[in-house]
Amino acid sequence: MKTFSIKVDPLTNEEYWEVYLRGQQLLSDAMLNKASAFTEEERLSLEMSGLLRTGVSSLDLQVERSLENFRRKPDDIEKFIFLQGLLNRNEVLFFKLLQDNLTEMVPIVYTPTVGQACLQLSHITRRYRGIYLSPDNIANVDQIFQSISLPSVNLIVVTDGERILGLGDLGSDGMGIPVGKVTLYVAADGLHPACCLPMTLDVGTNNKRLLEDPLYLGWRHPRLEGDEYWEFIEKFVLGVKRNFPEALVQWEDFAKHKAFTLLERYRDRILSFDDDIQGTGAVALAALTTAMRIKKARFADQRFLIAGVGQAGVGIGMNIRAQLKAEGLTDAEIRQRVFAVDQPGLLMEDTEGLSRWQKLFVQDRAAVAGWKLKSPDRIDLADVVLNGKPTVLIGVTAQTGLFSHELLSSMTAYEKQPIVLALSNPTSKCECTAEDVAKATNGCGLIAAGSPFADIQWGDRVLVTSQCNNLYVFPGVGLGALVAKTPKVTHAMFLAASRALSAMVTPEQEAKGYLLPAMEDIRAVSRVVAKAVAVEARESGLGRLLDDRKYEELIANAQWEPKYTPYRPGKIIS
């Protein structure tokens, strides 16, 4: 049932919301609740007289009160619970608080704290958000979608909970990720919360801890696999196409063997992308592009080592390959510059069990014939550093401390200014810390990390570690694709996003070690990325034929600012 509609007064041109709820129902609706900010006229016309204390607060006063309460909380998980409670009570207030305090609160509403929250979600859930589809209700997908109270659905962030961050299979407790990503779309991008929908495909879990936990709230069965799984996915996609034909679907935290299939199978059928593959690849490429400017070097001058060849590793590797090809290198020359290490060690042409995507990064046996190895049976990370002499080290393994002091310092023997992207999150899974890199390279290394690290005082310099967070890319890509009305999101659009993102880092920031813009500039970043994506869509024949200035205008107009809109009572819908 729709709870409100967005209207414009034909006489005054005032935008208002026509509201179909009254009294306590209205106060219980997070999208509509203004709490102490309801005006006296609204309290009277919407049957709330006597339900609120007399004082009328401004939104700014409510933010001040909420920030005071937030900072009283003793630890990050309690702060997460407080913010989720606020989101469930008053969405406008929540997003205003978050937008005004992004640097402080993004690590709470998303990584690293969201990982800790997902591990405990069935134990800390106060109120459900979003939509849960399971084998028990997928047959009713149309009825479920049609009952959603939002006035429109333009964005769906969906997971099946099988690979949550670096934490593995968390079943429906993985819903913290879609909720967090939707939060970031609104805070960073400005999409209106009334058009964003987090979803979980609750197809079971193989996590024994969850299956044996009496408090676990998900579908208590082993995961669907094979044809049953793909039939479930197809029913979900067809339901989206029937009910939300213009919505963007962001695939989030699926296992790698399913994520690539989802991307290939559906990217031309529905407007969609995989953030773990494409978003991670794009933001990492932007960080590397900035690093090349700082070093006054080309990609072709570097040697890259990617540790972890799952979704993120493949996405990053494909973008590095694209950039090397753009600089004129052949496939054979690219192979000599990109090394990929996974569980079997260095990926070789005869390594068994590799996916089609991983095979893009294999080495010939002849290329390593003269290498000095600790063991003839396996070429590990240290062997590749010793023999391949990489100048760029990228980690997406979720293996804490994988990049040891010895490993990092050995790179300085042949490269004064190595680049290290330690991208696993949450922080507890990071391959190394910013301080590790600074100590091993005498403050010369360039680093970006998947989780936030504090600045480091190094002599008379302050070393900044950029958080290589997909937040810099996916909201702008989504907004640009929606504004351009493109039927699909292409690889070229992500490359355009990378270029635009890197170009925003100023020379002054580069001098401090920034590889990405400051988090405080995230709204401007989203506008710039969205325009780059929309223009690329237009130039490739997929987007609307609007000039650059018109796209800038539409994108700016699409960025919602958290504020209270006037309410007028509408006819109550029974």
Q: Give me the count of residues in the chain.
A: 574
Confidence of residue 243 (pLDDT cuts 50, 70, 90): very high
Confidence of residue 519 (pLDDT cuts 50, 70, 90): confident
Residues 190 and 154 grouped into a single domain: yes
Q: Which residue has the higher pLDDT, 427 or 177?
A: 177
pTM summary value: 0.91
As a whole-number percent, the residues of the chain with pLDDT over 70 amount to 99
Q: Provide the token pair at 204.
A: 């079971």
The single-letter DSSP state of residue 298 is -
- Is residue 490 within 8 Å of residue 538, measured between CB atoms? no
> Is residue 574 scored above 70 in pLDDT?
no
Residues 97-109 have pLDDT tens digits of 999 998 899 889 9
Q: Is residue 368 part of a domain?
A: yes
Confidence of residue 234 (pLDDT cuts 50, 70, 90): very high
The answer to which of 1-15, 295-309, 317-331, 519-533 has the lowest mean pLDDT is 1-15
pLDDT of residue 573: 61
pLDDT of residue 119: 94
Average confidence (pLDDT) over 544-556: 95
Residues 438 and 306 grouped into a single domain: yes
Confidence of residue 425 (pLDDT cuts 50, 70, 90): confident
Q: Which of 34, 79, 181, 531 is catalytic?
A: 181
CA–CA dist 532, 489 (Å, integer):
13
Residues 455-493 have pLDDT tens digits of 999 988 888 999 998 999 999 999 999 999 999 999 999
Please state the φ and ψ torsions of residue 56, each to the nearest 5 degrees. -110, 120
Residues 262 and 211 grouped into a single domain: yes
Q: Is residue 53 part of a domain?
A: no
pLDDT of residue 110: 87
Q: Provide the token pair at 161.
A: 């909970």
pLDDT of residue 235: 98
Confidence of residue 210 (pLDDT cuts 50, 70, 90): very high
> Is residue 267 scored above 60 in pLDDT?
yes
Q: Is residue 493 part of a domain?
A: yes
Q: Is residue 572 part of a domain?
A: no
The single-letter DSSP state of residue 132 is E
Sheet containing strand 338-342, edge to edge, reads 345-346, 338-342, 304-307, 392-395, 419-422, 446-449, 466-467
Task: Provide DSSP, 194-262.
Answer: GGEEEEEE------HHHHT-TT--S--SPPP-HHHHHHHHHHHHHHHHHH-TT-EEEE-S--HHHHHHH
- Is residue 161 within 8 Å of residue 253, measured between CB atoms? yes
Q: Is residue 34 part of a domain?
A: no
pLDDT of residue 32: 95
Q: For the domain that residue 136 is a member of, what is the CATH number?
A: 3.40.50.10380
Q: Is residue 180 part of a domain?
A: yes
CA–CA dist 229, 190 (Å, integer):
34
Residues 318 and 464 grouped into a single domain: yes
Residues 318 and 430 grouped into a single domain: yes
Q: For the domain that residue 395 is a member of, what is the CATH number?
A: 3.40.50.720
Q: Return all residues near 366 (Cβ < 8 A) that are at least 6 apart.
A: none
Q: Is 181 a catalytic residue?
A: yes
Q: Is residue 494 part of a domain?
A: yes
Residues 344 and 215 grouped into a single domain: no
Residues 538 and 394 grouped into a single domain: no
Task: Name the one residue in this structure whose structure tokens are 């994520």.
Answer: 259
The last residue of one of the domains, among 445, 472, 499, is: 472
pLDDT of residue 499: 97
Question: In the predicted model, what is the mean pLDDT of the chain?
Answer: 94
Residues 386 and 294 grouped into a single domain: yes
Q: Is residue 15 part of a domain?
A: no
The last residue of one of the domains, among 417, 451, 472, is: 472
Structural domains in the chain (count): 3
Residues 354-412 have pLDDT tens digits of 989 999 999 999 889 889 998 888 999 999 999 999 999 999 998 999 999 999 999 99
Q: For strand 461-463 and strand 392-395, is the pairing parallel, antiparallel, or unpaired? A: unpaired
- Give 132's strand partners: 200
The last residue of one of the domains, among 245, 270, 295, is: 270
> Measured in whole angstroms, how far is the alpha carbon of residue 326 from the centre of its chain?
27
Candidates 87, 72, 105; CA nearest to 522 is 105
Residues 95 and 196 grouped into a single domain: yes
Residue 289, helix vs strand vs coil:
helix
Residues 454 and 478 grouped into a single domain: no
Residues 155 and 252 grouped into a single domain: yes
DSSP H or E run through 283 = helix 280-295
Residues 429 and 282 grouped into a single domain: yes
Q: Which domain holds residue 165?
A: 59-270
Q: Is 551 a catalytic residue?
A: no
